[in-house]
A and B are shown apart, each in its own frame.
Chain A
Amino acid sequence: MPASEQTAVKVEKSLSEAFNPEQLNAADTVLVQNRGRPGALIPVLKEIQDVTGYIPLALQERIAAGLNLSLSEVYGVVTFYSFFRQEPIGRNLIKVCLGTACYVRGNKDLVENLSRDLDCKVGGTTEDRRFSIEGVRCLGCCGIAPVITVGEDVHREVRAKDMPAILEQYE
């Protein structure tokens, strides 16, 4: 078997391990719709990540082929923008706002405590996959700082002592 075909087989296998056929089909549909459209890469990555949750290298190869781009272009964009993830996240995504107003009002201590209590670094996921912690740049809710979001919920004026009660709400 020529080397190029071997890689192709390997890519398919790890993709089918990571994602179910519906997810891959949805991704392919997005690729077909956007092939040849100028400036399509970033919206495409977003749409695909909405379905797959993250974009590992194998999926990036598929996207590059689908949009007729080089893998380096796709990888370059995925690693440049903080919204794209190459690793899967936990069931609940905690976003800690790291904007100035939140910082001045105490989010620095909050994030350090949270990271210690969950034994999980910022940018990481807990072992039981219950939580992922992400630091985000200003959510623009400075009036109610410090702010964290868990999933879709916004929690206002959060102090370290409020955290256990907040986390309890999420399975």
Chain B
Amino acid sequence: MERISVGDLDRIKTEVNRRKDLASNGKKAGITVHMGTCGIASGADKVWQSLFDLLKQKGESEDAYRIMHTGCVGFCGMEPIITVELRGQKPVRYRRVDPAKLEQILDKHVLGGEVEEDLVLSEEEDPFFQGQKFVVLRNRGRIDPESIDDYIAYDGYKGLQKALTRMKPEGIVEEVLRSGIRGRGGAGFPTGMKWKFCMQAKGEEKFVLCNADEGDPGAYMDRSVLESDPHSVLEGMAIAARAIGASQGYIYCRAEYPVAVETLEKAIAAAREYGLFGEDILGTGFSFNVDLYVGAGAFVCGEETALMASVEGRRGNPRPRPPFPANEGLWNKPTILNNVETLSNVPNIIREGADWYHGIGYEKSRGTKVFALTGAVKNVGLVEVPMGTPLRDIVFSIGGGIPNKRKFKALQVGGPSGGCLPEDQLDNPTDYEAITKAGAIMGSGGMIVMDETTCMVDMARFFMDFCQEESCGKCTPCREGTKQTLRILERITKGEGKPEDMDTLEELSHIIKDSALCGLGQTAPNPVLSTLRYFRHEYEAHINEKICPAHACVALVNFEVDVEKCTMCGLCHRACPVGAITWEKKQPAKIDKGVCVKCMSCIAACRFDAIS
């Protein structure tokens, strides 16, 4: 590859489109396997392998086909997914493909020309895709993440070209400000404002940092973007660098994402070869370099000052602000830190204009937001919706509601810093202010649906366990406060709660909120406060009646079968790993408590809430 200059982007685009055109290249069909981490874990790599074996078996030359792989399509529950395109026809997606189904698809569709309707995943008809709008995920499933040319073919690096050739730094900042975009990492600070402060900061050397330390459990939007469309983030960083006058950037990516790290390394190398990073980018005289920095497993490093300490090779302890990073950040130089999703939006804003971006969204929340919709919901996957979309639409329309005939209990929004919202709060729009008012936070985009089998006290305990473990230990309210809160919650879930515990929890939560040093500590009590606010009756049941209504807290489960509710189906008997449950046809099950190891397998298996 050689360095490219202004004008080459259009040439590459034309070339790629010509190369991909089936008819003019004498290709019979295009077959794409979508391979993100979820897809690979579901067997997409086996599908990929067997594709070549099957073509060979059928006497077909692989050269007669345009075969490629991409990152994920976003519908994780339907992985592995493949796309088949015949000459002159619309591409067709197939879901839950395995080697046997692949052969079926090859025979009927690729070789026979007839769509295998039973296996189709239709974006036009499947409710999962209705109401979604793809900006950040616009390239999902259509580009090979390892090919910079593919990215360029979909107008990649056009935003950077515009920023370098037709805009001044002030103009870029103004455009980002006008677009109304706010930080997608969680706090929602206006991105343009951050850039403006850093642009105005005095200093020869400045830095652009990308926060790819997606630590919130239950959130994987950024992983997907990095795996499927890494150049969108790199382009965003280069535009940011031009705006604030930086010549060096770092991506801080968590080590738990090996595929993302590998994809990023390749993307950075490819962009360097094209001269899109390095000296004199696109022949404009502007220079900017990016290096990848892999984390070492510490949640607190998602906090900006902690992240900078970590890049400097130290313990990731946050420090008080001010001074703000825009003035004194990495190595005490002016620095901006933006999250993956924020940066990935930037090229689109610059290319399409602030007005276009501002046209999407709701009140003070503009643009789209990507959510990772998981838990007890039928359609698990990545969802990108215009800001303002009601939470209910995401859970019940796009998500398809709750599986296994169970009832909705709570939606956990915003990770460990967020909160659990009950059904009557679901009409809130996805808007920073509205969600905060409801007692959660927008957060980075984790959205976990919980049904009646999840205990809300236990959930609060889970998050507090997470926060106290991940607390860096620097400030006392967080270090000691989270520990004490956890102790109380543990006591309650063991049936040893005292009536005054709820008041103590509330008081302690407010103290931590008011006095902790960084965002991690200040928001750590949110799961406790939101469950106390909306699910107080569950706390009361644990404390006063020593009952866990969800039958999730082991210490409060008796392991007795309710013969009224038992349908004599035998599911619990089959699930028991130690043979403690006796059951015969047309007889209710019986649990031998002497043998039972309280592993909860029976409770998980029972569909009728018959074991308590």
Contacts and interface: CB of A to CB of B under 8 A. Distances in A.
A150 B223 CA distance: 21
Nearest to B317: A80
B296 A42 contact: yes
A40 B380 CA distance: 40
B313 A40 contact: yes
A142 B42 CA distance: 12
A161 B577 CA distance: 6
A83 B213 CA distance: 14
Contacts of A77: 313-315
B216 interface: yes
B256 A137 contact: yes
Interface in A59-107: 73, 76-77, 80-84, 98-101, 103-106
Interface in B214-244: 214-220, 223
A140 interface: yes
A145 interface: yes
Given A46-B296, A141-B37, A104 B375 contact: yes
Given A104-B376, A141-B41, A113 B599 contact: yes
A71 to B, nearest CB: 14
A112 interface: yes
A138 B298 CA distance: 12
B218 A100 contact: yes
B331 interface: yes
B575 A161 contact: yes
B256 A41 contact: no
Interface string A137-168: 11111111101000000111001110000000
Contact of A101 (B217, B297, B470, B597): B217
Contacts of A39: 311-313
Nearest to A147: B41
Contacts of A43: 293-294
B579 to A, nearest CB: 12
A109 interface: yes
Nearest to A79: B315
A113 B466 CA distance: 20
A137 B41 contact: no
Contacts of B539: none
A46 B223 CA distance: 21
Nearest to A39: B313
Contacts of B316: 80-81
B115 interface: no
B181 interface: no
B41 A138 contact: no
A140 B76 CA distance: 11
B596 interface: no
Given A109-B599, A160-B577, A140 B77 contact: no
A100 B414 CA distance: 11
Given A83-B297, A98-B217, A140 B257 contact: yes
Interface in A6-64: 38-43, 45-46
A100 B462 contact: yes
Given A100-B415, A116-B597, A83 B215 contact: no
Given A100-B412, A109-B601, A143 B314 contact: no
Question: 6 tightest CB-CB pairs across the interface, nearest first?
Answer: A143-B76, A99-B217, A81-B296, A140-B220, A82-B297, A100-B218
Given A101-B374, A145-B375, 4 more contacts: A40-B313, A80-B315, A98-B217, A155-B41
9 contacts: A42-B296, A43-B293, A46-B296, A81-B316, A82-B298, A103-B462, A104-B454, A155-B41, A159-B604
Interface of A: 38-43, 45-46, 73, 76-77, 80-84, 98-101, 103-106, 108-109, 112-113, 116, 136-145, 147, 154-156, 159-161
